[in-house]
Amino acid sequence: MVYSYKKSRAFSKIHGTCWLLGLDHYYGKDEAIIRGQLQTLFGKPLYTGSDAEHQYSYVIIMENDQGAQYFLHVYSAKLGPSIGGNRKLDGIENAALELKQYIEKAAPSDYEYEGIYKDKYKIKMGVKKGEPYYFNINTETGQDLEANKIEGDQELVKLFEEMGWTAIWEARRKEQKALEIAQNLVNMGIPAETIISATGLDPEKVKALYQTT
């Protein structure tokens, strides 16, 4: 299925829509990249805010080669960068997956953003000369929590490298993330075949998720 993509100002088209899927992010820098990718593809957001849990919002019109049209909401929320839409529309889950893949292929544009998270943390993030940055600063102590988190992860990676486990660790982490995404899609009632195609997971592992739901 081939789609076209266009930014819209029709906020009324996303009223009453719900979360469909999340855009993959492991660290704050990933969130910074995603917003930069969106700006490459669709320009500046239609909405931006200083609340770090509600940073931006886009309305994207997708139309496939059969003339079916979908209004999708791409936004930042408590669950991170996400795609929403009207779940009652046939084919909208597939359209959301296509939009996710379309975004992931884009190079991020330069931008900068500052916001506040729950009145306790100052978020500074963006892309500069193609490189993402993200600072999560405690407003009382001035401590950068994101830097400490990444430093801890880097120590773990170093230990795994010394023991020859790096490839195994990376594979397991990616599979766990894929399983989390798959579970969300199962909960939404997405067919197993679609989930297997989107995540690349072993079919038996996907089918097992249905048995435990």
- Mean per-residue pLDDT, 146-164: 52
The pLDDT mean for the chain works out to: 83
Mean per-residue pLDDT, 171-197: 75
Closest CA to 77 of 147, 25, 149: 25
**Which residue did the predictor score with more confidence, 46 or 210?**
46
Q: How far is residue 95 CA from its own chain's centroid?
A: 15
List the domain range (segments joined by +) for residue 105.
Answer: 3-143
Q: Is residue 209 part of a domain?
A: yes
According to the model, what pLDDT value does residue 150 have?
46
Judged against a pLDDT cut of 60, whether residue 159 lies above it is answered with no
Q: Is residue 151 part of a domain?
A: no
- Supply 165's token pair: 């486990």
Please give the backbone phi and psi of residue 17, each rounded to the nearest 5 degrees, phi first.
-80, 170
Same domain? For 138 and 171 the reply is no
Is the model's pLDDT at 8 over the cut of 70?
yes
> When comparing pLDDT for 37 and 154, which is higher?
37
| Judgement on whether residues 20 and 106 belong to the same structural domain of the protein | yes
Cα 121 to chain center, whole Å?
21
Q: What is the pTM of this model?
A: 0.68
Residues 33, 118 within the same domain: yes
Same domain? 127 vs 193: no
Residues 128 and 168 in one domain: no
Same-domain status, 27 and 78:
yes
CB atoms within 10 A of CB 16: 7
Same domain, 129 and 187: no
The answer to whether the beta carbons of residues 182 and 204 sit under 8 Å apart is no
Q: 42 lies in a domain? A: yes
112 lies in the same domain as 178: no
125 and 171: one domain?
no
Q: Which residue has the higher pLDDT, 152 or 158?
A: 158
Looking at the structure, tell me whether residues 175 and 138 fall in a common domain.
Answer: no
For residue 204, tell me if it sits in a domain. Answer: yes
Residue 14's nearest CA partner among 97, 61, 71 is 71
What's the rounded mean pLDDT across residues 132-144?
A: 79
**What total number of domains does the chain contain?**
2
Task: Report the range of poorest mean pLDDT among 18-22, 166-170, 174-178.
Answer: 166-170
pLDDT band at 171 (very low <50, low <70, confident <90, very high): low
In a domain, 159, yes or no: no
